[in-house]
Structure 1
Amino acid sequence: MSTQTQTPNPALLGKKAVKYGFGIVVSIWMLFPIFWMATTGFKRNESIMNLPPDWLLFDVTLVHYRDLFTEFGFHQFLFNSFLVATGAVLISVVIGVPAAYSLSRMDVPREQDISFWILSTRMIPPLAVLVPLFIFFTTVGLTDSLLGLMITHFLITLPMIIWIVKGFIDELPQSLEESAMVDGCNRIQAFREVVVPLVMPGIAAAAFIGFIFSWNNFLLALVLTGGGTRTAPLVIQSSMGYLSIDWGMLGAAGTLTILPPVVLSLLIKDHLVEGMTMGAVKE
């Protein structure tokens, strides 16, 4: 009995080679700036501007990281960013998830108008509302405070979380909640015990996106904070002067600033993957 060996299809192999080759090129293109920034933070000032650049072989130094924490107190600004982003996202999730459920399941008067109004708040350029916000927060005494900045970031993240979570709730069959209410649950209990656990991956994905938007926000923090209430992006900007740029400090501050979102994404990666693929396959 002879066994036949399957001959590889040259066309199929060629398609795979092109696909993986294109993926590798795109990955390098996207990751190279991050690699350059990270290595710049470990280089000495005299070797940063070398031509050709020292990609891998260079004298490693931690002087830029030391200066960040000893001279600039960068840990305080990282904490400010984390506190503002976390607080804004938590408040947005607590308010946004029930709001998304109401828009998805309940007979809300003029639901389409309300949904469009919520979405339209994301269309407004931040500069258009910056002056009114500054006047308002100055009047109530919330300028140069983390609470005021948290409120503005909450206004940014809430519409986005409502819309993302609403899309996930729309994918759930209403029969699940109806079955729970037949078994004795009221509407709130069905929402808490049935809907929330099922859309938790979507909530995690929406919260993570909101965290990124809040963490990277620069303009609102520039106008509404100062001194000890500044956030990490403002410290990155302070390394760029009128006549020169401290490239080592810029690389070190940029590297430390992207670490918390990266660590957070790794911690909730299972929920993120499940949330991004939720509803992709329909029975």
Structure 2
Amino acid sequence: MPTILGQNQYGKAENRVVRIVRDGGTHHIKDLNVSIALSGDMGEVHHSGSNANVLPTDTTKNTVYAFAKEFGIESAEQFGIHLARHFVTSQEAIHRARIRIEEYAWERIPASRKASRSGGAEKAGHSFVRKGQETRLAQITYDGNDWQIISGLTDLTVLNSTNSEFWGYLKDKYTTLEEAYDRILATDVSARWRHNWTSDAQPVPNWEKSYARTKRHLLEAFAETYSLSLQQTLYQMGSRVIDSRSEIDEIRFSLPNNHHFLVDLEPLGLKNDNEVYFAADRPYGLIEATVLRDGAEAGIPVDLTNL
């Protein structure tokens, strides 16, 4: 039975690109997930395997990063227009380009009142929290006499576009990671905290106020910590909560290190001055720890997935 080739396209899917624009101490961020599909005169590659009309998908990926540098990212729509126009007009065999873009919006983390009074308001210019933000969690345990109240959140995505380093670590013959003295620090905060309210005889905390202010302390500590490691940032976040919220005795964190790697643009004849990054989703470092009030005993389950 004879066959014919129907609708077809090819391209590179889910190219994660983060573009940072540095305006003094205030930074601007665009975070996109770009998928490219090209179609046109592609019969021979399917019938005979000839690649004469095929622009490599690796080239389309490189184009995304190069255009992020050359044109910037004014909007997802305009960036997609640049890409589609380029592919169709620069390659005779390509008749149609489909660009699908997901944009992940970020909001600035406001400086704390303490930082503002000390002239540190500018620190918030490089600290962001993903819009849409977190899922709130709670676990309530009661045995007829005592209560255990664990509050928390997950998927609170935060990013510092500077004020983070990583160097001076152990090295062996398998170590290839280069030391970093100005890097992006990003994580999805998963945190659980235990209240010291355990009895009906105690005054009941204002749970809404406690949650809102605990989250605020987490964000402010993340934004205001000049980080030499994600572990250091974790401890500062936990300490800020314990020091600031008398109703909380323990907080446990699970923080993935969401790596952002500088893209090597030199093969494309472009310089990448801490502007264009590849946002890797796996594998990732995973940092976990508990911060306790001095004298308190641990009471949060180690396996956070049980909450």
Q: TM-score range by the shorter chain?
A: under 0.3
Select the structure that is richer in helix: 1
What TM-score do you get using the length of structure 2 for normalisation?
Answer: 0.20
